[in-house]
Every structure is written in C-alpha cells, then in structure tokens.
Structure 1
Amino acid sequence: MDNVPFMMNDKRKRNRGILMLSVLGALVVIVFIISMNTGYIRLSPMDVMRTLFGLGTNKQSLILFEFRLPRIVISVLIGAGLAVSGCIMQGVSRNALADPGILGINAGAGLMVMLFISFYPTTAAAPVFLLPVLALVGAGLTATLIYSLAYKRHQGLSPTRLLLTGIAVAAGMSAAMIVLTLKLSPEKYQFVATWMAGSIWGMNWKFVLSLLPWIVILLPYVFYKAQVMNVLNLGEQTATGLGARVSREQLKLLAAAVALAASSVAVSGGIGFVGLIGPHLARRLVGPKHQLLLPTSALVGSLLVITADTLGRWVLQPSEIPTGIVVAVIGAPYFLYLLTKTRV
C-alpha cells in the first residue's frame, strides 16, 4: 500500500510529460504552417494548400518546394539535433551550462567546414554530402582535445574544468576562423561572415538528405540510452555500483552528441544557445528523467529554431536576419541568468 501514492505520482508525471510532448508537437506543426506562408513573396494559406496538392502555379511550386520547405525542414532537424546534443552534454558532464556552442564543439565543426568551403565549390552533390563528415572530423578532434584536457584520472570529468576548457578552445577556434577569413576573396568572405552569424545556408533538398540520416540514426540511439543517462546522473561512484560502465557509456554518448552537433552545424552555420536553452526549458516542463527529457528537448529545439528562422525572414523584409542572431537575442540573456543561478 505504501507504493500506491508513489505510483500515482509517477503516473501523473508521465501523463503530464505526454501532454507537454503533444502540445510542443502541435506548436511545431503550427509554426511550420505559418513559416510556409511567410516570405517576401506572399503566399496565402489557400495558395499553400493548393500548391501542396499540386494545384498551384509553377511560380508558387518553385517558391514553396524549392525555397521554403527545404529550409523549414532543415530548421526542424537542426533544432532537434542541437538541443539533444546539449541535453547529452549536460547529462554526461552534470554541468547545467554545457552546450556544443559554449564548449567549442560547434567552433571545431565550423572551422573544418569553413576550410572546405573556402577552397572547394559546394554546389555539387558530393561535397554537400561530405560536409557533415568533415564537420564531424573537426568536432571530433575538438571534443577529444577538450575531453583530454578536462578529464583527470582520479577525479573524473570536472564540470568546472570542462566549461573553462571548452570556452578557451572555442576562443582559439574562433580566432583561427577570423585569421582565415582575412585571406578569402570578397565573395567567399561575405558567405563565411553570413555563415558565422548563424544563417541557414543549406536551403535545398540535397542538404536535407545530407543531414537526415544523421538525425534519423542518432536520435533513436540516444533515446534508447535514456535509462543509462539517468544512472550516470547519479554520479560516477553510484553508477559504477549499479553496474554501469561509466567511461565507456560517457564516450558513446559524447560521440553521439558531437555527431549531432557537427552534422547540424554543417548546414546551419554558427547557431548557438539552442543546446543550452532547449534542455533547460524541457527540464522545467517534464522533469529530469531522460525518457521524457530527451524528446522534449528535441521538440523545444525545433520550435526555437523554426520560430527564429521565421522571425528572421519576416521582420526586415526583403532583407533577412540570420537565424543565429535571433536565437542569440534570446539565448545570451538566458545564459547570463543561468550563470548567476548555477554553481559550476
């Protein structure tokens, strides 16, 4: 009988989590529809519906299927990828301020992508599909460097060392990117500057197809590891006592987080704070259990990026505000708030 109140409370939390997931999913769909109607060339809701069913004009089909839909789909995918990546990093390191942007993972991926686009054209199909792989190499090398510097054999992964090391490495990567931009032609410099501001530059279906396999494979794997992440949150000694292979599981999860962040950065540019804001808002909505926290983080991240991209295309028409800047307007104050409230 003593377990009855606990079971009822657990059921209420689970039902509340399912409700939050449903609400967030509905919001993503609503913003998705609004985004299809948003742009310099006006398409009414009826025009969009007719075009979706193949009854629109050639111009309307071109605008919707070749310009808007790929960008919207990419916004949803990279939002989910970056938010889940941040959720993994916060869970594994037990650091509330961990984020692929703050820790330098995005900068490492971005440096490799920038090197590639500076010397090779990105219009051909093969280079487009190589971008996530190259970004993964850059992010992986950066993550290895940060992990090796922050990890102490008898102390484990210190949240403070991880944060400070990540910030230092990110600063170094950013400085290297600035030096490289000085040698670019004016056309490529303009492109790189826009990319660094967080503009979703991959705006056709080739970029969607290059990103989709990474998201489709890695997200289910991370969701499958939700219970392992719950155990890791108990601390290294407790997790080891419960039979978890802590170091091995940490490396697997961090590798998934790095791959998610790298593949997203490859097509989205330097969009920061998504991996920080998404998990924090999700934790407030559904609590700390990763079975609900991970999918909720994915939906919050998707909602944040697609909303920011829609606002960026709408506010200063016909010009655009890069999505990363809109996210930073929200994320920077939130990061400062967390910094004052969190003990690192």
Structure 2
Amino acid sequence: MNRAGLRALRVGPFSARVRPRALALLCVCLMLALVLLCFGLTHGSMPIPASAIGHALFNLERPDDDMRYIVMDIRLPRLLMAVLCGAMLGMAGAAMQSITRNGLADPGLIGVKEGCSAAVLLLIFQFPALGLFWRPIFGMAGGLLTALLVVALAHDISRPRFILIGIGVSWAFAAAMGIFMTTADVRDVQTAMLWLAGSLHAANWTLVGIATAWAIPAFALLLFTARAADVALLGNPAATGLGVRTARLALLRVLAPVVLTAACVSCVGSIGFVGLIAPHMARLLLRGGQAALLTGSAVLGALLVLLADNVGRLAFLPLQLPAGIVISLIGGPFFLLLLWQRRDRF
C-alpha cells in the first residue's frame, strides 16, 4: 500500500484508501473554487464589500435591501448554479468516458446534450403552461432517446465510430433547432439563442433546488458503482468472473450521465466541453480509480464553469458573455488536440 502511495483514511466506521498528494490537490481545487465564489459575490456591475456580503448571508445586522437582493437573489444562486452545473457535467463526462473506454466521449459530443436541448425547447415553446419541474423530465426523455439512437447505430460504444456517429446525430439535432430558429417568432428566437448559449443569468433558487434534487441521486449512483466500474475496466469476461453484472452496470452508468446532463441543460442551457476537459484534468492531477476520477472531475468541472462565468460576467462589462461561449473558446482547441493525439485510431 505504501509503495502505491496509498494511505488508509478512517472516519468512524468508514475507511478508504487515498493518495495524500491527490487529496491535497483536491483540497487546493476546492479552495480555488471557494475563492472564485467569494470573488463573484463581491465583484460585478455594483461592487459590494466583503463586510456587506457577510451581513447579507448571515443577517449579522440588517443590511441594505439593495445589497441583500443582489447577493441573495442574483449572485449567490447564479454562482451556486455554476458550481452545480460544472460538477454535474464533469462527473457525467467522467462516467461516459469510463463506460465507453474512450477519452473523447462526452454527453455533448454524442448528441445527448442536443437531444435534451431540443426536448426542452419543445416544452418551453409548445407547452409554456408546464412548470420548471417538467423540464428535466422532458430533457431526460430527449437525452435517453438520443443515446439509444447513437448506441443502436454504432453497435459498439467502445469504438471510435461511436463518437463520430454521436457528432453526426448532434448536427442533425442542431439542424432541427436551426429550422426552428428561422421559422419561429423573433422574440422566441432571442430567448432560445440566449438559453442555448449556456447563460447562467436567469439562475434562481428554484432552479438551484431542481438541479440539486436531480444531481444528488445521480452522484450517489455513480459513486456507489465506482468500485464495480473499476473491475469492469478489466474487460467483460474478467468482470463477469468477478461477479460484476456488466449489462446492468452499463445501463446505470449511461443513465446517470444522461440524468445529470438533462438536469443541467434544463436549468441553464447548453454548456459544452466541460465533460470532456474536466476528466482529463482529473486524470492528470489525481490519478487513482473511478471514485477519485468522478470526485476530481466534479470539483474541476465546478471550477471551470465558475471561472468561465466570472470571466464572461466581468471581463466585458457592461456586456456579459454566456459561460457556454467562454468554455467553448477553451474546449474547441482542447478537442482538436485530443483528436490529433488519437489520429491513428480512426
């Protein structure tokens, strides 16, 4: 255990083997995320001193009503939504790459995100009377149908053509949404374009609650099956011999990323490339098994979206760029680099 760099960590009746270096790096990333969150609370079109933030959060004294409104009703839910969405997309990407054994796999690259987006747009503009609670359900239906379509066309999710077919299906859904953009009312088009860009400007406590309600069970499912997923990486025959039900595991490990992606898309729109970048960063920094990869991808994904939202919100004041656009500026070159590294496998 010492040679592998592992140490036993015990908390009451629970114990786990961890790498101290990886745990330290994870704590540093968490501290950076906390710093970005505090920075986002104090900076904006109306700077707010840290003392006023404390008064607004903890009611130490009666704060100024305007400051309390900005902190509690605008900035804090937006920043918490950025953390949630980044964690959901990062963990979804890590799980998808694990089950497909493909470093290019990402819910946004295999059509799941576009399927979710199309279903949610259909709900918003064709059934406006339905509440926010229905958005993740419609999004999950669209994402699952898209995932099933890609799997059926590819036959084998571990081969590179799975990604290529997913990209083709994504383009098909993008074309369908393009048809909507050219035929719908201009006001609906403006709403749809801002939402599809992955903007966090409309985040509120209701959306934070909805995202949390869907994220917690999906997180728990992925972490609960992490040890079985480590065994599954040995191959189906070996995993079956060790008692892992590979078919059921694959179903659960595909369902959970779809749920996470649908919840994120339903709340803030399409934010791409987080599920692609965060797992690669987690592998580089943390190493370890599936539990470490999932946890690290969630933390790094949250850090990425927080950083992107702060840059988009503050760098071009009074204009604001959606976080999805800022992430795409980083993710596009990153994806091309990964394609270049794998050029001999296609």
TM-score for the superposition, normalised by structure 1: 0.92
Moved more, 303-312 or 240-249: 240-249
1:226-245 equivalences under 5 Å are 226-245=226-245
Aligned position for 1:118 = 125
Matched, 1:27 2:32: yes
Aligned position for 2:11 = none
Alpha-carbon distance in structure 2 between the residues aligned to 1:327 and 1:15: 30
Aligned position for 1:10 = 6
How many positions carry a matched residue from both structures? Answer: 333
Aligned position for 1:53 = 58
Q: 1:102 aligns with which of 109, 121, 126?
A: 109
Aligned position for 1:69 = 76
What letter is aligned with 1:150? A
Aligned position for 1:150 = 154
Alpha-carbon distance in structure 1 between the residues aligned to 2:37 and 2:212: 18
Aligned position for 1:133 = 137
Alpha-carbon distance in structure 2 between the residues aligned to 1:26 and 1:158: 36
Contact in 1 for aligned 2:203/2:268 (Cα 8 Å): no
Alpha-carbon distance in structure 2 between the residues aligned to 1:201 and 1:41: 15
Alpha-carbon distance in structure 2 between the residues aligned to 1:120 and 1:37: 38
Q: 5+ unaligned residues in a row in structure 1: which ranges?
A: none
Deviation at 1:341, TM superposition (A): 1.3
Alpha-carbon distance in structure 2 between the residues aligned to 1:138 and 1:225: 25
1:282-321 equivalences under 5 Å are 282-321=282-321
Deviation at 1:150, TM superposition (A): 1.6
Matched, 1:40 2:48: no
After superposition, give the CA deviation of every residue in 1:111-149 in whole Å (9 maximum; x if it has no partner). 011111123447xxx611111111111111111111122
Moved more, 207-216 or 113-122: 113-122
Alpha-carbon distance in structure 2 between the residues aligned to 1:120 and 1:175: 22
Aligned position for 1:208 = 208
Matched, 1:323 2:323: yes
Contact in 1 for aligned 2:282/2:296 (Cα 8 Å): yes
Matched, 1:281 2:277: no
Contact in 1 for aligned 2:104/2:276 (Cα 8 Å): yes
After superposition, give the CA deviation of every residue in 1:19-71 in whole Å (9 maximum; x if it has no partner). 12211111111111011112212212222122222232110111111111111
What letter is aligned with 2:251? L
1:170-249 equivalences under 5 Å are 170-249=170-249
After superposition, give the CA deviation of every residue in 1:284-310 in whole Å (9 maximum; x if it has no partner). 011141121111100000000011011
After superposition, give the CA deviation of every residue in 1:189-235 in whole Å (9 maximum; x if it has no partner). 11111112221254111111111111111112211111111112222
What letter is aligned with 1:240? T
Deviation at 1:5, TM superposition (A): 5.3
What letter is aligned with 1:286? L
Contact in 1 for aligned 2:308/2:323 (Cα 8 Å): yes
Task: Give the number of the structure with larger relative contact order, counting CA–CA contacts within 8 Å between residues 6 or more apart.
Answer: 1
Q: 1:81 aligns with which of 84, 88, 93?
A: 88
Deviation at 1:240, TM superposition (A): 2.4
Q: Percent identity?
A: 35
Contact in 2 for aligned 1:77/1:212 (Cα 8 Å): yes
After superposition, give the CA deviation of every residue in 1:254-311 in whole Å (9 maximum; x if it has no partner). 0011111111111121110000001000010111411211111000000000110111
Moved more, 230-239 or 292-301: 230-239
What letter is aligned with 1:26? M
After superposition, give the CA deviation of every residue in 1:136-173 in whole Å (9 maximum; x if it has no partner). 1111111111112222xxxx433212101111110101
Q: 5+ unaligned residues in a row in structure 2: which ranges?
A: 8-16
